[in-house]
Amino acid sequence: MTSSSLGNNKVMQVGMVVENIDEAVQAWSRLLGVEPPSIAITDTFDISNAHYQDKPTPAQAKLAFFDLGQITLEL
């Protein structure tokens, strides 16, 4: 096996962009047989200072994290 430029080949977290996080959380909860995690909303611009293409943006994201033991699934 070839070595990774990261120093190992362990995956700790997998992130996916979904169109509808509420529906995705329910679907993944059913698929995995676990309780749905809470959904967090990222901070507003005054805290995050988020930029897109070098311009300030008020964009926020909804996030959910499934703790699956040795790996975390992020939506």
Containing 66, the helix (H) or strand (E) segment is strand 62-67
Strands 13-15 and 72-74: parallel
The answer as to whether 30 is a domain residue is: yes
State the Cα–Cα distance between residues 41 and 63, nearest whole angstrom: 6
> Is residue 56 included in any domain, yes or no?
yes
Unique residue bearing structure tokens 């509808």:
20
Q: Is 62 strand, coil or helix?
A: strand
**Structural domains in the chain (count):** 1
Residue with the bigger pLDDT between 37 and 8: it is: 37
Q: What angle do CA 31, 36, 39 make, to 5 degrees?
A: 130
Check which CATH number belongs to the domain holding 19 and give it.
3.10.180.10
Report residue 72 as tokens: 């975390």
* pTM score of the predicted model: 0.81
Domain range for 22 is: 13-74
Identify whether 64 is part of a domain. yes
What's the whole-number average pLDDT of the chain? 94
Examine residue 19 and state whether it is found in any structural domain, yes or no.
yes
pLDDT digits (tens, 9 = 90+) for 39-53: 999 999 999 999 999
